[in-house]
Structure 1
Amino acid sequence: MPSVAALAYRAARPALFSVGGGDAEAAHKWTMGRLETIDRHRPLRALTRSVCRPVSDPVSMFGVQLANRVGLAAGMAKNGEALRAWPALGFGFAEIGTVTWHAQPGNDTPRLFRLPASRAVINRMGFNNHGARALAARLRRYGDSAAALRERLGYPLGISLGKSKITPVEDAVGDYVSSLRAIRDLASYVAINVSSPNTPGLRSLQDKGFLDELVAELRDESRGVPLLVKIAPDLTHGAVDDVLDVCRERGVAGIIATNTTIGRDGIAPAERALADEAGGLSGAPLTVLARDIVRYLRAQVGSDLPIIGVGGIGSADDALAMVDAGADLVQLYSSLIFRGPAVVSETAQALKDRTA
């Protein structure tokens, strides 16, 4: 029997998809506005909790205590919006950003496209955000340290870092380091995003030489904050091996697999026209690709490195398959668009039951 949250979202989705004349980014902004309202008002947070029924499943990973195994993926709350709404929806942790050192508007609109028949999204947002200093100032309203934020919010915050578009690739290390210095005291962990397809030259930072220099500098500046590397699903096994060499050598705390894909497999025939839109593809077409990367990663690292599986997790069954492939935790984003918040607690409960 569908939950109250599932039934409510099923009824509301047609209206949500019509916001802004069907513009996906307009719907995103409208949704974030409603979540900000929940964040500000305790009675609304309590009501949201009663409907969404968050699952308590405490687990420790890379030295961080999580409320459950299901996290919000980066990209939804780029500027740290609605921080008290995410646990009410059932998330056990949240990754905010991706944030860059320089504030930037992102790419030209339209830049976000829903593909309902494919249960997929194409985005070329381009790290639109207010910058690392603005994010740090916003977070300090809730607490002046990662521990204080964890206590105040009830879950840990990861922060995803990316390269500013105006910064040349050869100066990328300094750009990331500046961002890290701004937010390191506020993050429970930091994700090094070198895998978005929407910032020119960014994916070249996954090359072994670049990545080694970047991670080494960030490790020196981290003050002990766990560093995780987020990789693309389009890497060859040889390229994945290079990333893992760096991670082992530099003491990276974990891997996030994966970001969006530049491939276009899995798009429904009725939506093939959208395949020509530039950007990263997420959602159901990424399910098997991301799972296969996680499976390969786990075979290479054994139990040495935690893995967060993300990409194409549209149901509890998808999450269980991702865990079976080797993921320790999962993150959701696109499934929220097509299934609503019910998918969060359903997934968290399934993972809790599996590990009980």
Structure 2
Amino acid sequence: MYKSIIRPILFKFDPEKVHHFTFSMLKNFGFLTKLILPKPIESIHLEREVFGLKFKNPVGLAAGFDKNATLYNELADLGFGFVEIGTVTPKSQAGNPKKRLFRLLDDSGIINRMGFNNNGLHAAIQQLKQNKGKIIIGGNIGKNTLTSPENYTQDYLECFEGLHPYVDYFVLNVSCPNVGSHAKLEDVEYLKELITEVQKINKVQKRPKPILLKIAPDLNDHQLDEIITLVAETKIDGVIASNTSTNREGLKTPKETLDAIGNGGLSGQPIKDRSTRVIRYLSEKSGKAFPIIGVGGIHSAEDAWEKLEAGASLVQIYTGFIYEGPQLIKDINQMILTRSK
């Protein structure tokens, strides 16, 4: 129903306006989802224990969809095993100028340059206080666009301390291509400093939370080796592979269309193989030393299974969720059940 009726209508309108419309429908008419959307699969055979947390199933929603933690309770009803909110920054910010979200229909992809638009830390906390305990929640945190380099760490620490009582795990978003002054966040020595400072706060908490690092799909083997060493040295809990890509090679969308769109991070089917390569490399070269959440280009159950076979412990969807609808969650879980027997 989604792909044959709902999606063709939604895709006639501006992507960002459709996003807000969909949010409003799920928030205000969420009870209808139980009537018109596929019933989620529930089974103890889908449960996974990863970095000390018990997930009811291994299919999550990636950050960027529920930026302000306003819809996680309703999203839980769709069958997700976990939802990652954010990216949350200390202060609210409007993000980059519109238009900033573009569908690549020929490629089943999306280009975005949203720029961490969100309502800020305080607003996210107020929303998370309404948590009904139906789902594991990850907190994806970042810096404000106008924050000067010497204060980057303080932004992350502020978000970490503020969200700590309300989320189950954290993600340090250091790989989004749509924020200013990005170079420092790619420096390994700075990442060591950042992770160390976050861990200092985490260790004195009554209940420390798992901390993950989200990395880009465009890293070369040397950079991936540095990530493996970084995880070993800092003892961070895991990695999310991967974020959006700046690489536009091999797209079916005409060059003139891409030039008109301009800069932004590419997600969806075009980055499927890149993210899977990163997952496989990290898993094999590290000897499966740490958990990996696989994300990037998952538009079918087979795509998700490929990520799991490559070494991912859990998977996340976003662009595939936009293109394929809630049925994708059920399809993935059904395949995992079938192939795990």
- Which residue of the partner structure matches residue 279 of structure 2? 294
Cα offset, 1:354, TM superposition: 2.7
| 2:248 aligned counterpart, secondary structure | coil
Question: Which residue in 2 is equivalent to 1:54?
Answer: 41
Indicate the SS of the match to 1:84. helix
Indicate the residue corresponding to 2:4 in structure 1: 10
Alignment partner of 1:250 is 2:241 = no
Say whether the 8 Å CA contact 1:197–1:203 is kept in structure 2: no
Q: Aligned residue for 2:301?
A: 316
**C-alpha displacement of 1:271:** 6.7
Cα offset for 1:163?
A: 1.1
Show the counterpart of 1:27.
18
Q: In the alignment, is the contact (CA less than 8 A) between 2:141 and 2:173 conserved in 1?
A: yes
* 1:44 Cα offset (Å): 3.3
- Cα separation, 2, equivalents of 1:271 and 1:131: 36
Is this contact kept in 1: 2:73–2:135, CA < 8 A? no
1:180 is displaced (CA, Å) by: 0.6
1:353 aligns with 2:338: yes
Match runs of 1:211-222 below 5 Å: 211-222=191-202
Does residue 325 (structure 1) correspond to residue 310 (structure 2)? The answer is yes
- Pick from 316, 327, 331: which aligns with 1:342? 327
Once residues 246 and 98 of structure 1 are traced to their aligned partners in structure 2, the CA distance between those partners, rounded to angstroms, is 22
Partner of 1:127: 116
Give the unaligned 5+ runs of structure 1: 1-6, 143-151
> What is the match of residue 262 of structure 1?
246
| 1:148 aligned residue | none
* SS at 1:300 equivalent: helix
Residue 239 of structure 1 corresponds to: 223
SS at match of 2:72: coil
SS of the equivalent of 1:259 reads coil
Distance change >3 Å, CA 203–CA 47, structure 1 → 2: farther
Deviation, 1:48, is 5.7
Residue 147 of structure 1 is matched in structure 2 by none
Q: Is the 8 A contact 1:112 1:123 kept in 2?
A: yes
* CA–CA distance in structure 2, aligned partners of residues 295 and 203 of structure 1: 26
* Deviations 1:229-255 (CA, angstroms, capped at 9, x unpaired): 000011121112222222211221110
Asked whether the 8 Å contact 1:133–1:179 carries over to 2, the reply is no
Aligned-pair identity (%): 37
The equivalent residue for 1:285 is 270
2: CA distance, partners of 1:228 / 1:8:
33
Q: Please give the secondary structure, in 2, of the residue aligned with 1:107.
A: coil
State how far apart, in whole Å, the 2-side matches of 1:139 and 1:160 are.
13
Report the 3-state secondary structure (helix = DSSP H, G, I; strand = E; otherwise coil) of the residue aligned with 2:103: strand
Q: Does 1:37 align with 2:28?
A: yes
Q: Equivalents in 2 of 1:63, 1:197: separation in Å? A: 30
Counterpart of 1:121 in 2: which secondary structure? strand
Per the alignment, in what secondary structure is the counterpart of residue 153 of structure 1? Answer: coil
Partner of 1:162: 142
Find the aligned partners of 1:38 and 1:241 in 2 and give their Cα distance: 47
State whether residues 207 and 239 of structure 1, in contact with CA within 8 Å, keep that contact through their aligned partners in structure 2: no
- Preserved CA contact (<8 Å) 1:117 1:271: no
What amino acid is the match of 2:306? A
Asked if 1:225 is matched to 2:213, the reply is no
Paired residue type of 2:182:
L
Q: Does the alignment pair 1:183 with 2:171?
A: no
* Equivalent AA in structure 2 for residue 37 of structure 1: N
SS of the residue aligned with 1:281? strand
1:133 positional shift: 1.7
Alpha-carbon distance in structure 2 between the residues aligned to 1:220 and 1:38:
43
Task: Tell me the TM-score normalised to structure 2 length.
Answer: 0.94
Q: What is the distance in 2 between the residues matched to 1:187 and 1:87?
A: 15
**Partners of 1:86 and 1:269 in 2: CA distance:** 31
Counterpart of 1:233, as a letter, is: P
Letter in 1 for 2:322: I
DSSP-derived class of the 1:89 partner: coil
- Between 173-182 and 233-242, the greater mean CA deviation after superposition: 233-242
- Kindly report the root-mean-square deviation, in angstroms, between the aligned alpha carbons of the 2 structures: 1.6
